Every structure is written in C-alpha cells, then in structure tokens.
Chains A and B, each alone.
Chain A
C-alpha cells in the first residue's frame, strides 16, 4: 500500500503545472465556500442576535390564536392567572430556559394635544425585559429607559409629532370590554425601529397598561423566553410543545402556542436564502472539483497508457492499478483542501482585523466578524475528498481494465 501511495503522490510531479492548477482550482473552490459561509454566517448571526436580543426573545408563548390575529392585537386572546401559573411551572422545570418576561400588546391612539395618530404598544416589566432582551436598551436613540408613568415612543412618531424628551403625551386605548380609557405619559425616550413584528412598537410600563386597559386580574398577551443556549432552540421548543400541549381548553384545543424567532421574523426567509446560497456555492465547488480532477485524471490515464500496459504485463492486479489512480485523485483533493483552508483562514483573519461593516435596512453599521467552525471545515474537506475520489473512479476503472497488449502498443 505504501508503494501505491508513494507512486500516486510522485505522479503529481509528472505534470507539475497541471497538478498545481488543479490543486489551485480546488483550493479556490474551498476558499469560496468557507469565506462565504463565514461572512454570510456572521451577518446572519448579527441580525438574528439583534432581532432576538432587542425585541423578540428566543421564543415566545401566546394564547392560542394570538399570533394569527397579531395585526389586531386582540385583548380577548390573552393568558389568564391560572394559565400563567401552569405555564410558569412548565418553564421553571425546563433547564434550557434561562428567564422569561411578560408583555401586554395593544393598540391605541396617541395625542400630543395638537395632533393624534394610531400606534401599537408593548407593555413590559423593564427589569425582566432587560434580562430577556438585553439589547432593547441599545435601541434607545435618545432619552432613558422606562419607568412607571413614562413612555418610549417609536422614532418616526416622535419625529412626526415634533416631540421631545420630557413632553407629555396622551395614550387612549380600548380594553377587552370595549370601554375606552386615556392616560397621560411623559416621553422618556425614543426607540429605534427594527425589522420584525413588534419592531415599530412603543413601550409603556406593564403596570401602566393594566391601569389603562382596566385589567383587574392577571392577564398577559405574550411571554418572551430567553434560553441558556440559543443552539438548543428547537429542543426547548419541542419540550415546551410537549409539556404545554397537554393543557387543553373546554373545546379540546391547545391553550398555548409557541413560536421561535423563525416563525415570527421575516428575516428568517433571508436567513434561509443565505443558507441556500451557501448550499449553491457548495454545489459549484462539487462541480469544480469533479470536472477539474476528472479532466486531469482522464488525461493522466491517456498519457500513461503504455506505462499501465507495462505494469499490468508485470502482473500488477487491476485493483492495484485502480488504487494508484484513486490515491492520485485523493491527493489532488487533499492538497487543494489544505491550501484552500489555510488561505480561507488567512482571508477570514484579514476581514476580522479590517473591521468591515455593511448596511442592512436601517442598520448601517453591521460589523462583520466572520468565523468558521471546525465542523464547516471538516464538512467541506469531506465533500472535496469524496468528490475527488468519485471523479477519479471512471478513469481509474478505465486504467485497470486496459488490455496490456493494447496499452503497450500505444505510442
């Protein structure tokens, strides 16, 4: 076996320029895959992090049917005291859940005494919200975070109203029974808008919402949940589905519905598209490796036909001749992968130290910090090696099936 490997490796030196070009093409393909995966992955993770940590939380629990009617923000599809209690019991016993926060979502009318507009609000408990969505505070464009009696206004409404921090504003809302109530708030801050279902909402304190909406009993529209490990999202969701799924209403339907950020944010479709593009680049890599290595090996078999004839005449078994060519293709793949990985790591390092930023939506300063995992490197290498071996199979079989007498006659 060692001799087969030795001959296969030395065969790469026969046509140095051709071998170098093939290895270079494979390395370029590996570079394209790893650099794109790392950069696009970095962009994706930054945006997902912003969405989950500044607004949605990792996953959310609502009363059944609430998300379907999200545009209306129905106050009759909320969780009551008993449902909150049994949900708390479930959340507290799942180890993957780090913390959670309650919200009341509602629509209302804002007035600065000169003009009025419709707006949507999320009523939060600031201390809890800070733990579940730690980047929420960073969305404050000006002012300070929320206290009772204060309001955080979306930036576009603030601009439209020509309002300033400290101004009074009146919020009027209709409660679940249909009665209308109004309350005056002091503007504490201006919130930056972000992409997503509640990205342009204003914020008031949870207790203020209960007063405004005349909620005498415990009532919430949304529970934002933060996990100890974001990667365990699907696992925790499945656990929650299983445990909360046991609670049914009088009609036998689920009481709770659970959604991850993927279900709630439109960015999920962009993330999917990024994944599709990464897959597409991998398919291109497969094509590059397949065509370049097969081409080189077909030429190698053609050029070495006489030599194959002589080693076959000496009694070399077809399986060994086949193996010799398979190893040659394998080495082309391995060398291309190794060079591609090294160049990719250098390129990723350069991007990282360059502090490159890109603009996306209203966010004009997304810092790219590409990183590549060992799993990604391993998978790419595995693909390249597997495709290299697949590419060499046809020429290798052809070489092993050559009749020595015909092969020896070739000039």
Chain B
C-alpha cells in the first residue's frame, strides 16, 4: 500500500485578481522507505507539493491520502496533530530555535508534541545526535555551530518523533557543496537504516544524482518520473 497517494491534485493561488496555477492535475504514489525528490526550476511547484504532503496547505481540488488518511478533510488542530504524529520537517533555513541548545532543539518535538518522559527523551536524543555526529556539539547554542551542523541538528530533530515521512524543502540550498553532500548522504543513510521515507525538493544537479526516485515538475505539471535501478 502506498504511503502517499495523490489523485488529480490541483493548487491555484489567488493573488488579487490574478490566479496562479501552482500544480495541475498531479497523480502519483510514494511508498515506504523511498528516497524521493521533486526537481524543477523555481516556481515549478516543488515547495507547493511538499506543503500539501505536509498538511501545511490544502489543494484547490483533488485527493491526497497520507498513511491512509484523507488529509484534505482535516481541520487546523487535526492537521497539527497529524504532523506531530507522522511527519518530520527539514527547512532550507534550518529554523532551529535560537534560545535552545542543540540538544534541546532535538528534544523539542518529544516534549512539545509527544510528551515523552525525561529518560526516554534523553536516550532518543543522544542516539540521534550520535547518528548525525553532533553529540559533541549538544550543549552549544545554535549561533555557535556552522550551517552544516545546523542542518544535521535539524535532521535529528525531524527524526526524533520516529516519523514515517520526512519532508525537506531545499535542505541543501544554504550549504556549501561539501556540507550539502554530507547532509544528503546522512539522510540517505538514515532512510535506509530506520526506514523513513525522505521527500525533498531540490534543483541542485549534484544532489539529484543521489536520489532514488525523481519527480520532475515544470510549471506545476508532473512531466517525468525517474527511478534508479
């Protein structure tokens, strides 16, 4: 059974008198443990696609089922709960909380979303920080670490609730090539190890080489699906 299924999904943004068709009639299926990317030029609809999967936005028409839930029908609070329960997010600008340490940032979803007891949280957070090789940086504040380290901390935070799906919007856009390469490899390694589906958007051709399944979008239309054998 598919993890995500889209059928005839269209998204139109209304800006004053102008209508912008961000996505047109998208139909696709994504399965568990896949390493998927949406590629395409700016304005092709990559971020919109991820926002729809992440229950951050609703389509103008069409159906989206994520983990067998019709997410289009969920209300504001139900969407928040669904995100907390099943989804992880990695942002282009990392979006870590600056007043918390690296450890506390990774711990944040376990406290605010999952409400796990302290011992379990500690075990989980230390294990993830170890996975992303950030254990030695755990007590540092966010402004004391590099961009690559921030994104690794953000990956650990996204995985801390054991989400089935991690959505990453241009996760390497603010990183140098070396750091970007390391981050992608880390995500791929974790995807294989813990079985989490990573879906991200990128237009970096060097990164695209590492992807298993590539969906190409152009002007909101899905023009190609490419799967590495």
Q: A residues within 8 Å of B by Cβ?
A: 3-4, 6-7, 10-11, 13-14, 306-307, 309-318, 320, 403-405, 408
Contact = CB atoms under 8 A, between A and B. Distances in A.
B91 A317 contact: no
A11 B56 contact: no
B97 A311 contact: yes
B20 to A, nearest CB: 14
20 contacts: A3-B104, A3-B112, A4-B112, A6-B104, A7-B100, A310-B91, A312-B80, A314-B83, A314-B109, A314-B157, A315-B80, A315-B81, A315-B112, A315-B161, A316-B80, A316-B84, A317-B81, A318-B76, A403-B56, A408-B91
A18 to B, nearest CB: 14
Contacts of A307: 95, 97-98
B100 to A, nearest CB: 7
Given A4-B112, A405-B56, 18 more contacts: A3-B104, A3-B108, A3-B112, A6-B104, A14-B99, A306-B95, A309-B95, A313-B89, A314-B83, A314-B108, A315-B82, A315-B84, A315-B109, A317-B81, A318-B77, A318-B80, A405-B57, A408-B95
A315 B89 CA distance: 10
Interface of B: 51, 54, 56-57, 76-77, 80-85, 87-89, 91, 93, 95, 97-100, 104, 107-109, 111-113, 157, 161
A314 B84 contact: yes
A320 B112 contact: yes
Contact of B98 (A6, A14, A313, A318): A14
A313 B112 CA distance: 12
A129 B109 CA distance: 77
A183 B100 CA distance: 92
Given A10-B100, A318-B77, A311 B108 contact: yes
B75 to A, nearest CB: 11
A313 B83 contact: yes
B108 A405 contact: no
Contacts of B76: 318
A10 B89 contact: no
Nearest to A405: B56
B57 A315 contact: no
Contacts of A312: 80
The 6 closest A-B pairs by CB, nearest first: A315-B84, A310-B95, A10-B99, A315-B83, A3-B111, A405-B56
A405 B57 CA distance: 7
A311 B84 CA distance: 10
Given A3-B112, A318-B76, A405-B51, A313 B99 contact: no
Contacts of A311: 97, 108, 112
A230 B209 CA distance: 89
Contacts of A405: 51, 56-57
Contacts of B81: 315, 317
B59 to A, nearest CB: 13
A319 to B, nearest CB: 9
Which among A7, A14, A310, A313 has the highest number of chain B CB atoms within 10 Å? A313
A310 B54 CA distance: 12
A3 B107 CA distance: 10
A236 B161 CA distance: 68
Contacts of B84: 314-317
A198 to B, nearest CB: 68
A323 to B, nearest CB: 10
Contact of A316 (B51, B85, B95, B112): B112
A315 B82 CA distance: 7
A10 B105 CA distance: 13
A343 B194 CA distance: 58
A332 to B, nearest CB: 15
Contacts of B111: 3
A403 B58 CA distance: 12
Contacts of B97: 7, 307, 311
Contacts of A316: 80, 84, 112-113
A75 to B, nearest CB: 81
A403 B111 CA distance: 22
Nearest to A324: B112
A8 to B, nearest CB: 9
Contacts of A318: 76-77, 80
Contacts of A306: 93, 95
Contacts of B54: 313
Contacts of A314: 83-84, 88-89, 108-109, 112-113, 157
A403 B100 CA distance: 23
